[in-house]
Structure 1
Amino acid sequence: MTLDDLKQMAETVRGEIGKTVHGQAHLIDHLMIALFARGHVLLEGPPGTAKTLLARTLAGTLDLDFGRIQFTPDLMPGDVLGTSLFDFQTNEFRLTKGPVFCDVLLADEINRAPPKSQAALLQAMNEGVVTIDGTDNSLGPDFFVIATQNPIEQQGTYPLPEAQLDRFLFKLVVDFPSLEEELEILRRHTAEPLGFTQRANAAQTVLSRAGLAEARALIDTIRLSDDIVEYILKLVRATREAADIAHGASTRAADALAGAVRAAAALDGRDYAIPDDVKQLFTPAMRHRVVLGPTAEIEGRDPADVLENILNLVEAPR
């Protein structure tokens, strides 16, 4: 596979997703970057903005096993991971795998589960392994989590702790579509039966498991120049020194951003990264990894605004 092949493959996946999800082009791009960079994604937005549909449609373009967990306040860790049950016929304990054993996992409304159930995903997302009764069970190299949460309704929710947020490569904010995009969505739906629920199945499978592995291997060969690496580090260190930020991003955050930049360059058909790659990915990679200071919170400032200010202050390489 060449970089041109990878770029064409990415365009094909975008086209298939576009058959179902109109607009949200930047969300689709970031989801694909996370997929190829072996990262996970947190989608945050109000109900009815196609978060679940987008995740299911992306999974539909991949020849991978798809699983979904609807997080609820009574969800237990065993409901996520599975449990060992005693088999009276064999007089042995047998592992009954939970829904986490898949390739693409949709964790719907992840902030509605209690902390102990949220924490069940920590090891899975970080290591691709689940330990049950002292035995490590691999989830495979393609394990990819897309989690959603609703920022409006907070009754009965449990905010994700910083340690778990740090497991996500990107936090993507899903907003309402533009007037033109929303009009096109309604036009499309008026040609379908009322209550039509098969939209996610409209996307054809275009990326095989072997193709994904080959694309990732190609991305692994991309190397960042010293100027780009230093630029990434300057931006991340600036989050630790900004007056509006109480707790800045970690070294792991800088490493995750660098990996995402490599994937973004390759998906654009380049074997080198440019400063615009870093600028494009800095905010989605950092907005969930920084904690605003009390002054910024009182003023109602958003992490995206603070991070955008850092981008303006740190000089990019030429």
Structure 2
Amino acid sequence: MDYLAKRFLERESVIKAAMVAFVARKNLLLIGPPGTAKSELVSSLAELLNGCNYFQWLLSKFTTPEELFGPVSLRSLEQDAYRRITTAKLPEAHVAFLDEVFKASSAILNALLTLMNERLFYNNGAPVRTPLVSVIGASNEFPEEGENLSALFDRFHLRFELSYLGDGAFLDMLNGAATGWGITAYRPQLSLADLEALQAAGDRATVPIATLNTLREIRRELVKEGITPSDRRFVNGLALLKAHAVLDGRDQVMDEDLSILAHSLWEEPEQKAKVGTILRQFGDKFTGQLEELVLDAKEVAEKALANPEEVSETSKAIAKLKKIGRRLVDMEPDAGTKRKQTALRENFELVRQLHRTVHKMAFHVEADFDFNLTK
């Protein structure tokens, strides 16, 4: 994941969620404007799986079932059968990327829903178990009401909105692209057998009764805010929690795993902030505090970069970012696990970069923090 995080800036949470989706055998949705590296990111994720059958297709209202599921065998027609040749098509894929997924025609939709939910493909009327690990869908916009796409939208257990890079990351991207990213050709790979072992560990992972009670309380708070995830979404959420725990090296779900549900329990974009706030109330205090500080830092930097002529406000933003950086350093003694240490380090570097960017914009020279993490 570190390799991809260096290549795809500001996409760490998406990369981590994709690995959770692979282990949990769930589907992921990416929504964002053209040019946000959705397809390149997904193909790079698939490349990390050694032996992975990867299928990618751009959908439109004119896309035919043959393009996704394979042509009908002429020999089978001679035998009064209707069997598709699925070689190199979606029914034989481990990871599938469907671009502009909401433009699928009704002729494709029903077969797609069954495949995404049950991992079954009906060929000549007989159900065939597919090797599908995850479907990753992408779209430039959310489906509009009345398009009868709610069932398809619900099949995506993790959802992300992507935007163009921030100012600091944008410069890093240009520098990386100009220098070939400075990354060796070696790409760490996970075999399909390794992935299956992780999936089995996820199946065995336990969820304490205390966590189940917490999920009930979270549901109650969401309902108070007018947010009503389906029962099925909470059940699928358990698999996400278990996969998140396994990737952190544990066999039991903890409060710190609840953060993954911030990308699962919302239905409308306007609900994301409320869902995140509620989860932080019930989740791991360290993770919640870290997320709040980073959100605050991003907001401060965004406002400063949008108004470069406001020198006094920019100076306040620089001071605020420095204060947030010190608070992150103060949190270091509480980062008791490797995952927390990694998250703290990554987010400290993010805040440090925001500070550099704003300072350079205001005073035409970079300035670093005069403090650092010890690890």
State whether TM-score is above 0.5.
Answer: yes
Determine the structure 2 residue equivalent to 1:210. Answer: 193
Structure 1 pair 268/316, CA: closer, same or farther in 2 (3 Å)?
closer
State the identity as a percent. 23
Residue in 1 that maps onto 2:43: 56
Q: Which residue of 2 aligns with 1:95?
A: 84
Aligned ranges 1:290-301 → 2 under 5 Å: none
Q: 1:213 to 1:302 in 2, by over 3 A?
A: same
Q: Quick check: 1:150 aligned with 2:137?
A: no
2:103 partner amino acid: R
Cα 1:269–1:317 shift into 2, 3 Å: closer
CA distance in 2, matches of 1:317, 1:18: 24
Among 99, 122, 133, the residue aligned to 2:124: 133
Unpaired stretches in structure 1, ≥5 consecutive residues: 1-13, 193-200, 292-300
Q: Aligned Cα RMSD in Å?
A: 3.1
Q: TM-score, normalised by structure 1?
A: 0.78
Please state whether the residue corresponding to 1:111 is helix, strand or coil. helix
**Contact 1:20 1:202 (8 Å CA) reproduced:** no
Is residue 227–residue 317 contact of structure 1 (8 Å, CA) maintained in 2? no
Q: Does 1:305 align with 2:235?
A: no
* Pairwise CA distance, 1:303: 1.6
CA distance in 1, matches of 2:277, 2:49: 37
Aligned length: 280
Question: Is structure 2 residue 161 aligned with structure 1 residue 173?
Answer: yes
User: SS at 2:98's partner residue?
Assistant: strand
Q: CA deviation at 1:89?
A: 11
**Kept after mapping to 2: 8 A contact 1:42/1:172:** yes
Q: Which residue of 1 aligns with 2:69?
A: 81
Q: 1:161 aligns with which of 136, 149, 165?
A: 149
**Contact 2:66 2:72 (8 Å CA) reproduced:** no
Q: Unaligned stretches of 5+ in structure 2? A: 286-375
Instruction: Compute the displacement of 1:202 (Å).
Output: 5.4
Match of 1:10 in 2: none
Distance 1:21 1:89, change over 3 A: same
Change in CA separation of 1:32 and 1:134 when aligned onto 2, cut-off 3 Å: same
Larger gyration radius, structure 1 or structure 2? 2
- Structure number with the higher helix fraction is 2
Task: For residue 146 of structure 1, give the secondary structure of its aligned residue in structure 2.
Answer: strand
- For residues 59 and 128 of structure 1, the distance between their equivalents in structure 2, rounded to whole angstroms, comes to 18
TM-score, normalising length from structure 2?
0.67
Other-structure match for 2:18: 31
Corresponding residue SS for 1:286: coil
Task: Pick the aligned partner of 1:242 from 184, 204, 224.
Answer: 224
CA drift of 1:231 comes to 1.0
Q: Distance in 1 between matches of 2:59 and 2:71?
A: 18
RCO higher in structure (CA 8 A, sep ≥6) = 1
- Greater strand fraction, Structure 1 or Structure 2: 1
Contact 1:129 1:136 survives alignment (8 Å): yes
Residue 264 (structure 1) aligns with: 244
Q: Distance in 1 between matches of 2:244 and 2:9?
A: 22
CA distance change for structure 1 residues 286 and 88 in 2, over 3 Å: closer, same or farther? Answer: closer
